[in-house]
Amino acid sequence: MNLFYRQIIQGFLLKNLVLLAVLASGISCSLNSDEISTDPSHKLRFSADTIFFDTIFTEIPSVTKRLRVYNDQSTAVSVASIALADPNTPYIITINGIRGTAFEAIRILANDSILVLLEADISDRDSLSPYVVEDQLKFSTNGNQQEVSVLSWGQDANYLKDAILPCNTIWTAGKPYVIYDHVLVDSLCTLIIEPGTRIFSHLGSNIYVKGSIKVNGEADNRVLFMNDRFDGDFALFPGQWGGITFLEGSQGNEIRYTDIRNAEVGIWLGTPDDDDFPDLTIENSIIENTTGPCIIAFTSDLEMTNCLLNNSGQFAFAGLAGGNYVITHSTIANYAFGFFKTEPTFIVSDQIELSDGSLLQAPITLQLNNNIIWGPSSDEIELLNDGGMVFTLDMTNNLLKTTNSAYSGFNNILNEDPLFINPELFDYQLDSLSPAINTGADLGIALDLLGVGRSMPPDIGAYEKQ
Per-residue pLDDT reduced to its tens digit, 14-69: 444 444 444 444 444 444 556 899 999 899 999 999 999 989 999 888 999 999 99
**How far is the C-alpha of 239 from the C-alpha of 189, rounded, in Å?**
28
SS3 13: helix
pLDDT the model gives residue 25: 43
* Res 12 pLDDT > 60: no
State mean pLDDT over 251-274. Answer: 96
pLDDT the model gives residue 10: 52
Sequence-ordered list of residues with C-beta below 8 angstroms from that of 391, at least 6 positions apart, any chain: 350, 363, 364, 366, 383, 385
* Res 254 pLDDT > 90: yes
Sequence-ordered list of residues with C-beta below 8 angstroms from that of 310, at least 6 positions apart, any chain: 286, 287, 288, 289, 294, 316, 331, 332, 333, 334, 335, 423, 426, 428
First to last CA, the chain: 103
Q: Which amino acid is at 367?
A: Q
| Residue 224 to residues 241, 287, 426, 449, 456, Cα–Cα distance (Å) | 13, 10, 16, 15, 31
Q: 156-170, 225-239, 294-308, 440-454 — which is least confidently predicted?
A: 225-239
Helix (H) / strand (E) element for 15: namely: helix 3-34
Q: Count other Cβ atoms within 10 Å, centred on residue 102.
A: 13
Per-residue pLDDT reduced to its tens digit, 92-108: 999 999 999 999 999 99
pLDDT the model gives residue 230: 83
State mean pLDDT over 149-159. Answer: 96
State mean pLDDT over 418-433. Answer: 97
State mean pLDDT over 180-184. Answer: 95
pLDDT category at 398 given cuts 50, 70, 90 is: very high
Pair 284, 219: CB distance under 8 Å: yes
Pair 457, 440: CB distance under 8 Å: yes
pLDDT the model gives residue 466: 85
**How far is the C-alpha of 248 from the C-alpha of 210, rounded, in Å?**
7
Compute the radius of gyration of the chain from its Cα atoms.
31
pLDDT the model gives residue 381: 98
- Spatial CA neighbour of 338 closest among 440, 436, 248, 426: 426
State mean pLDDT over 257-281. Answer: 94
State mean pLDDT over 439-459. Answer: 97
pLDDT the model gives residue 35: 84
DSSP string of 29-52?
HHHHHHSBP--TT---EES-SEEE
Paired sense of beta strands 45-46 and 65-71, if any: antiparallel
State mean pLDDT over 354-381. Answer: 96
Counting beta carbons within 10 angstroms of the beta carbon of residue 78, is it exposed (0 to 12), middle (13 to 18) or buried (19 or more)?
Answer: middle
Q: Which residue has the higher pLDDT, 15 or 224?
A: 224
CATH number of 45-154: 2.60.40.10
- Spatial CA neighbour of 330 closest among 276, 383, 381, 371: 371
**How far is the C-alpha of 12 from the C-alpha of 14, rounded, in Å?**
5
State mean pLDDT over 177-181. Answer: 95
pLDDT the model gives residue 11: 52
DSSP string of 152-173?
EEEE--EEEEEEEPPTTEEE-S
DSSP string of 424-435?
GGTEEEEPTT-T
pLDDT the model gives residue 19: 42
